[in-house]
Amino acid sequence: MTADILKVNHLKVQYRDSSGIRSVISDISFTLKKNRCLGILGESGSGKSMTCKAILGLLNKDFEIQGEVIFKDVHLLKAGKRKIRNIRGKEISMILQNPMTAFNPLYPIQEQIMETFIENMNIGKKEALDISLKALEEMHIRSPREVLKKYPHQLSGGMLQRVMIGIALTLKPGIIIADEPTTAVDAINVVKVMEQFVKIKEEYNTSMIFISHDLGAVAKISDDILVMKDGKVIEKGETQYLLTHSKNQHTRYLINTRRALVDRFHQVMG
């Protein structure tokens, strides 16, 4: 039996503004098992990002959150700010859709990466620089010393995303939550970024939540899949079983849409 590393029980998220209250996530439950990858699949607006932001306490006061999120016996929704901040980054890392938003545009990335390592690993500047260089090398980034001196806008989305993955890997968290990590990446680098995720999973024993609207990406990396629609979980199960046996209409629709896309690609490419 594989142990559960993260349990989400009856999570509900509501959004409140001047016009009233709106349900964004309605009563979802799932578990992430140790050393496994859970793919969250769903169309835009289905609630994938909101689910993960709620888990990590990243939503502001306009959102009302109910339910239970248990990570290693810690009830994350009730944990204090300091405790959550310690868990985020070191124990649970999030890789965002748009890596540009994770960096401050006003500073070269070197300072920002080093700061993250100094804060989370309790080390000095010299060691942080060595580790930063190593993190980029691990991601097969050429001329890492020069790359570190660049400002975020001087690097491509794919490059920045690889830098983010390198940082997450170096911190060796128990869980990586990747939210549409290939969105800002050009087609050539998508393959490279996906390879890095598969590598993390296979070599580092990291548990992972991989969010995407792309069934191909989710199927490539996930052991289990959760399908979301309109803020609800409509199906969950082992990836292979779900892809071949799902009787759920919406899941079949997502599978068929993907199949049609691949067929069209083959037609165009001859």
Ligand X SMILES: Nc1ncnc2c1ncn2[C@@H]1O[C@H](COP(=O)(O)OP(=O)(O)OP(=O)(O)O)[C@@H](O)[C@H]1O
Taking contact as CB under 6 A, which single stretch among the options 41-49, 69-77, 78-86, 133-141 is the one that binds ligand X? 41-49
Tokens of 97: 């859709």
Measured from the CB atom, is 165 or 228 closer to ligand X? Answer: 228
Q: Is 209 in the site for ligand X (CB under 6 A)?
A: no
Taking contact as CB under 6 A, which single stretch among the options 27-35, 43-51, 85-93, 132-140 is the one that binds ligand X? 43-51
Residues 138-197 that bind ligand X (CB under 6 A): 180
Residues 8-37 that bind ligand X (CB under 6 A): 15, 24
Taking contact as CB under 6 A, which single stretch among the options 44-52, 219-227, 235-243, 254-262 is the one that binds ligand X? 44-52
Q: Which residues contact 162 (CB under 8 A, 6 or more apart)?
A: 139, 140, 141, 189, 192, 193, 196
Q: Is 47 in the site for ligand X (CB under 6 A)?
A: yes
Rounded Cα distance, 7 and 76, in Å: 10
Alpha helices in the chain (DSSP H): 48-55, 81-90, 109-121, 125-138, 144-148, 157-170, 187-204, 215-221, 239-245, 249-269
Q: How do 224-229 and 232-238 pair as beta strands? A: antiparallel
Interface pick for ligand X out of 18, 19, 44, 244 (rule CB under 6 A) = 44
Q: Is 49 in the site for ligand X (CB under 6 A)?
A: yes
Measured from the CB atom, is 19 or 122 closer to ligand X? Answer: 19
Nearest Cα to Cα of residue 209 among 1, 8, 2 = 8
Place of tokens 């080093």: 114
Q: Is 99 in the site for ligand X (CB under 6 A)?
A: no
**Least distance in angstroms from the C-beta of 204 to ligand X:** 26
Q: Based on the number of CB atoms within 10 Å of its own CB, is 67 exposed (0-12), middle (13-18) or buried (19 or more)?
A: middle
Rounded Cα distance, 78 and 76, in Å: 5
Interface pick for ligand X out of 50, 96, 176, 218 (rule CB under 6 A) = 50
Residues that bind ligand X (CB under 6 A): 15, 24, 42, 44-50, 180, 213
